[in-house]
Amino acid sequence: MKFPGIWLLAALCSLPLCLQAGGDTAKLWYDKPATHWEKEALPIGNGRLGAMIFGGVSHEQIQFNESSLWIGDETDTGAYQAFGDLFTDLPVTSPAPTNYRRELDLARAVHTVTYTQNGVQYRREYFASHPANILILRLTADHPGSYTGTLRLTDMHQGKVISNGPRFAVTGSLAGYVYEEGSPKYSVALDYEAQVLVVNEGGSLQSTAGQIEFKGVDSLTVYLNAGTDYVNDRRRHWRGEPPHDRVLAGIQAASATPYPALLAAHLADQERLFGRVALQLGNPPTTPDLPTDLRLLNYAKGARETALEALLFQYGRYLLIASSRDGLPANLQGLWNNSNRPPWRSDYHTDVNVQMNYWMADPANLSECFAPYANWLNSIREVRKAATQEAFHTRGWTMRAENGVFGGSTWEWVESGSAWCMQNIWDHYAFTRDDRYLRELAYPMMKEVCEFWSDRLKLRPDGKLVAPNGYSPEHGPREDGVSHDQQLIWDVFNNTVEAADALGIDRAFRDSLAAKRDALLGPRIGKWGQLQEWAVDRDDPQDKHRHLSHLVAVHPGRQITPGKTPELAAAARVSVNARGDVSTGWSTAWKINIWARLLDGDRAYKLIGNLLRLVGDTRMNYQDGGGLYANLFDTHPPFQIDGNFGYTAGVCEMLVQSHTDEIQLLPALPKAWASGKVSGLRARGDVTVDIEWQDGKVIHYRLTSPTPHLVKARVNGELLSIPTEKP
């Protein structure tokens, strides 16, 4: 069991770490409860279990999720499901509470609700502990006996909720549920279970009519655990052990641990990941003492506040820690979902969205959070191979645009989707230099994707290799040599050549890939100076389509750079300029990254201005509705988390780049960020970067690495050879 370790950690960590982690700037807070799940409630999560908290005074709603609660099978994507809700009713409604505040402290990963009513100060704390693998709620007050009310658990799949003494339990099966009416039933039908234990101090507690009633209690501690029998193993038909024992053991272990120790272990865990990166924009930055939604409103009115930009950067890091630790990767909504028919199935879209989720994992120093993504890809490979063989008669594998957790894939084939995923897979190695990961996990997958393209590429009469009948996501005709395909094939071939070199294996295969890479039809400049999206020069300068598929060579790829291919970089500039600055949330975030790679910090900053726009509309909008809700969730609309992660990645690209053979410090610094400091960002080559700057110039920097080595670094325009220091 993990708990003896937790005790030790708790003892070691508590005070200094808690103080360090409690930086006042990394907080979202509001002066009223949330009334809307998508726009206002606040997320907590431990990667597996998540919750959205409303913070209501007399009626509290905790909507919760577990990452493996999926319908679907090997032929159909299915959809991510909502789990249930825990409601607390405190019937005292008058007088109206005063000093109400709900707050999400990113550095501590604790959500609090505080208010005063009838002279009593109430306080609630909620967190999702990764060490204890459970959700914990604690309600306290400064007067004894202040809590009287009821708790109620509901389930989203008609499972029967049972209350027994201080416990709720619900068990059920997902058999029979479908995403779309009339579609065939799925062959994988997971079982699930949730349990809640309520522990009171003082007063009394009893179960009646499916509720738990508490009377005159001093404090309540609530432990919530949930799980399914999903396992990411095709050979076991995706079903592992029934969830009951695990769910119960989690509750027993947590409730046997004193609350301060549980909290201390959680804070230490969060500090270890979240505390690695500090960002200060402006000198000194000022954080207005205003609710976060008002700050956002003022920002959009023209009061551009750099502290809010830094907060949103850290929020992306918080959200990845909360939604991608072990188990499954962050989906379109991360981990949070209140519907059984969520937008786009809350799935893994492989024509930009899941890739964007992971751009920031390494640069923002959260390498551990990458593992669920690599493991998920690895787990679905065999299913994808069979489907690919059937559709394309090739070796290797690829996917359609929509993907689930059982290898099933639906909607349009996006042949280059798997190559795009391999871009993340290689980059994780480029940052970490984890040879074992490369040998055992990354390289075998990359090689198979190269085999797919080796078998599928077509030789044109002019000697160029092209992807046949390709697709520029979600845009234009199908034809040969589409730029998106060509660039991603170049990318996966090029990276696999480097991977084989790093491992010192597969010489002949490596050489054949290098030859094919060099024979690929390359990027071309069209008649209005643009980077062509298709082999045929047909781009429309008025086209504002949200996808920027022909710019993957600029970002996240590295085939086009201002330093090495200046004409192509200039053409890319013409293209991204023509697409305009207004779009969906994720598209805006991608443009920030692209402008950063094109070394235009002020233009990237203009896009940041468009992203930090308070949006109220949740209706689907594919054109121009991107921005943020009051809870800082990025919106397409509707809510889609890739925009949050893409923004954080973009800020990293503005401050540090390392995709060429040099580490560039402040490559795309906007005038608005003339002064500032950052510590803990990562560069490729297992290097950690700290920078301090003033008036747009680096005044101090430090490059560290576990094995000191010489790196080429560009500092204030000058290329230097610098030995890294030991951390």
Sites of contact with ligand FUC (CB under 6 A)? 332, 344, 349, 351, 353, 474, 546, 584, 586, 622, 636, 640
- The 3-state DSSP class for residue 461 equals coil
Output the smallest distance, CB 265 to ligand FUC, in A: 36
* Residue pair 277/678 in contact by the 8 Å Cβ criterion: yes
* Residue pair 480/470 in contact by the 8 Å Cβ criterion: yes
Cis peptide before 284 (omega within 30 of 0): yes
Classify the phi-psi angles of 23: left when phi > 0, otherwise alpha if psi is within -120 to 50, otherwise beta.
Answer: beta
- The 3-state DSSP class for residue 676 equals strand
Output the smallest distance, CB 642 to ligand FUC, in A: 7
Count CB-CB contacts under 10 A for residue 620. 12
Q: Judged by CB, which is closer to ligand FUC: 545, or 714?
A: 545
Output the smallest distance, CB 634 to ligand FUC, in A: 11
**Distance in angstroms (rounded) separating the CA atoms of residues 67 and 227:** 8
Number of H helices, E strands in the chain: 16, 35
User: What value, to the nearest 5°, has the Cα angle with vertex 349 and ends 441 and 242?
Assistant: 65
Q: Judged by CB, which is closer to ligand FUC: 158, or 623?
A: 623
CA distances (Å), origin 328, targets 118, 424, 471, 690: 45, 16, 28, 31
Output the smallest distance, CB 589 to ligand FUC, in A: 11
* Residue pair 583/546 in contact by the 8 Å Cβ criterion: yes
Output the smallest distance, CB 474 to ligand FUC, in A: 5
Output the smallest distance, CB 93 to ligand FUC, in A: 41
Output the smallest distance, CB 160 to ligand FUC, in A: 34
* Residue pair 62/146 in contact by the 8 Å Cβ criterion: no
Output the smallest distance, CB 484 to ligand FUC, in A: 13
Q: Judged by CB, which is closer to ligand FUC: 191, or 415?
A: 415
**Distance in angstroms (rounded) separating the CA atoms of residues 382 and 577:** 41
**Distance in angstroms (rounded) separating the CA atoms of residues 163 and 695:** 63
Q: Judged by CB, which is closer to ligand FUC: 326, or 412?
A: 412
Output the smallest distance, CB 437 to ligand FUC, in A: 28
φ/ψ (deg, to 5) at 53:
-115, 130
* Residue pair 150/167 in contact by the 8 Å Cβ criterion: no
Output the smallest distance, CB 410 to ligand FUC, in A: 12
Q: Which long-range contacts (CB under 8 A, 24 or more apart) does 111-114 make?
A: 111/42, 111/44, 111/53, 111/55, 113/33, 113/53, 113/55, 113/57, 113/60
Q: Judged by CB, which is closer to ligand FUC: 66, or 351?
A: 351
- The 3-state DSSP class for residue 611 equals helix
Tokens of 489: 């094939």
Please list, residue by residue across 185-210, b when 16 or more beta carbons sit within 10 angstroms of its beta carbon and e when fewer do.
ebebebbbbbbbbbebeebebebeee
Q: Judged by CB, which is closer to ligand FUC: 326, or 474?
A: 474
**Distance in angstroms (rounded) separating the CA atoms of residues 687 and 679:** 12
Q: Judged by CB, which is closer to ligand FUC: 89, or 412?
A: 412
Q: Judged by CB, which is closer to ligand FUC: 324, or 353?
A: 353
Q: Judged by CB, which is closer to ligand FUC: 403, or 423?
A: 403
The DSSP result for 467-504, as a single string, is -TTEEETTEEEEETT-HHHHHHHHHHHHHHHHHHHHHT
The DSSP result for 30-99, as a single string, is ESS----TTTT-EEEE-SSEEEEE---SSEEEEEEEETT-EE--SS---EE---EEEEEE-----SPPEE
* Residue pair 405/230 in contact by the 8 Å Cβ criterion: yes
Q: Judged by CB, which is closer to ligand FUC: 232, or 350?
A: 350
Q: Judged by CB, which is closer to ligand FUC: 367, or 584?
A: 584
* Residue pair 450/496 in contact by the 8 Å Cβ criterion: yes
Q: How is residue 344 annotated by DSSP? A: G
Output the smallest distance, CB 584 to ligand FUC, in A: 5
> 3-state secondary structure string, 204-252?
EEEEECCEEEEEEECEEEEEEEEEECECCCHHHCCECCCCHHHHHHHHH
Output the smallest distance, CB 585 to ligand FUC, in A: 9
End-to-end CA, the chain:
32
Q: Judged by CB, which is closer to ligand FUC: 457, or 594?
A: 594
Please list, residue by residue across 236-275, b when 16 or more beta carbons sit within 10 angstroms of its beta carbon and e when fewer do.
eebebeebeebbbebbebbbebebebbbbbbbbbbbbbbb
Q: Judged by CB, which is closer to ligand FUC: 325, or 546?
A: 546
Output the smallest distance, CB 637 to ligand FUC, in A: 10
Q: Judged by CB, which is closer to ligand FUC: 26, or 615?
A: 615
Query: What residues are paired with 715 via a beta bridge?
Result: 718
Which residues have C-beta within 8 Å of that of residue 563, sequence separation ≥ 6? Answer: 660
**Distance in angstroms (rounded) separating the CA atoms of residues 437 and 445:** 11
Residue, CB closest to ligand FUC: 344
Output the smallest distance, CB 467 to ligand FUC, in A: 20
Output the smallest distance, CB 355 to ligand FUC, in A: 11
Classify the phi-psi angles of 671: left when phi > 0, otherwise alpha if psi is within -120 to 50, otherwise beta.
Answer: alpha
Q: Judged by CB, which is closer to ligand FUC: 344, or 370?
A: 344
Q: Judged by CB, which is closer to ligand FUC: 75, or 621?
A: 621
Q: Judged by CB, which is closer to ligand FUC: 349, or 591?
A: 349
Output the smallest distance, CB 400 to ligand FUC, in A: 11
Output the smallest distance, CB 412 to ligand FUC, in A: 9
Output the smallest distance, CB 346 to ligand FUC, in A: 9
**Distance in angstroms (rounded) separating the CA atoms of residues 544 and 587:** 11
Q: Judged by CB, which is closer to ligand FUC: 274, or 358?
A: 358
